[in-house]
Amino acid sequence: MTRLALTIEWNGAAYQGFQRQSHGPSIQQALEEAAFGVTGEEVRVHASGRTDTGVHALGMRAHFDLSRSFDPFRMAGALNAHLGMGNYAIAVLDCVEVPQDWHARFSCTGRAYEYRIINRRAQLTLEAGKAWRITKPLDADAMHDAAQSLIGLHDFTTFRSVHCQSASPVKTLDRLDVRREGERVIIEAAARSFLHHQVRSMVGCLTMVGQGQWTRDDLIDALEAKDRCKLGLNAPPDGLYFVKAIYPGE
């Protein structure tokens, strides 16, 4: 048995997220079909994290098993050739063989996301579907200051989707930084794991701070309420990117 680990990039606009869905195309389905086209084997692709409909990835990690050996470099090229023929907006950036006890999800010790906002009045053209346009000026410094109140171990029920399948709403947020680069406002989040919609919900509330609708204290009150009904705003998926997964020894 050979276990191959992939690093994957994709544009999520046309997909129902990573996990297979009965109502539309998914990244998992596209990869599994590509692997079958290359090897003739039906495989199950496991990823380091699930993503929502419309969410993008810059460096998602995943793995699958084959009954025979296969050169990783050739596998990456063959998968990309298959995905290219189907006009999938997915690319395999790297492929390596890993031990049988390595698991894309369960071996992962950290995950990082980035959210991209374009803060301008004009509509998006080149970045349509790849960022969230907000026309009202945002105070990125105020957003960053408020974001620090979410760092650490908390019950994030307010920022958790009602459809979240996590066993507990308690998570440790390691980093939540906000910075401005010209008309761009970038939010970076890192933690061992996240709840369903947690990043988008935190971003949505931070934009309310940035527009002066909320204060830092309002954000803290929402967190401490532990009530989804107290959420100010859930940001759209367009601007969210899974950046990287972290593993021991890497």
Q: Where are the domains of the chain?
A: 2-98, 110-246
Query: If you average pLDDT over residues 144-156, what whole number do you get?
Result: 98
Q: What is the CATH number of domain 110-246?
A: 3.30.70.660
Q: CB-based contacts of 136: which residues, under 8 Å, 6+ apart?
A: 211
Give the whole-angstrom CA distance, residue 203 versus residue 110: 19
Residue type, 244: K
The percentage of the chain sitting over the pLDDT mark of 70, rounded to a whole number, equals 100
If one compares 249 and 189, the residue with the highest pLDDT of the two is: 189
- Rounded to a whole number of angstroms, the distance between the first and last alpha carbons of the chain is 23
Catalytic annotation, pick one of 52, 174, 217, 227: 52
Cβ atoms of 170 and 98 within 8 Å: the answer is no
For residue range 4-38, list pLDDT tens digits in order: 999 999 999 999 999 998 888 999 999 999 999 99
Cβ atoms of 90 and 60 within 8 Å: the answer is no
For residue range 122-137, list pLDDT tens digits in order: 999 999 999 999 999 9
Mean pLDDT (the chain) is 96
Hey, is 154 helix, strand or coil? strand
Hey, is 99 helix, strand or coil? coil
Give the whole-angstrom CA distance, residue 85 versus residue 83: 5
CATH class of 2-98: alpha beta
Q: Is 65 a catalytic residue?
A: no
What own/partner pairs with CB < 8 Å and gap ≥ 24 does 68-71 have?
A: 68/2, 69/2, 70/2, 70/4, 70/39
Q: CB-based contacts of 109: which residues, under 8 Å, 6+ apart?
A: 192, 246, 247, 248
Instruction: Name the CA radius of gyration of the chain, rounded.
Output: 19
192's tokens: 């061992």
**Is residue 211 exposed (0-12), middle (13-18) or buried (19+ Cβ within 10 Å)?**
middle
For residue range 218-241, list pLDDT tens digits in order: 999 999 999 999 999 999 999 999
What is the reported pTM? 0.95
Query: One fold for both 2-98 and 110-246?
Result: yes
Q: Residue 85 — very low, low, confident or very high, per pLDDT cuts 50/70/90?
A: confident
Give the whole-angstrom CA distance, residue 111 versus residue 160: 17
Q: Residue 250 — very low, low, confident or very high, per pLDDT cuts 50/70/90?
A: confident
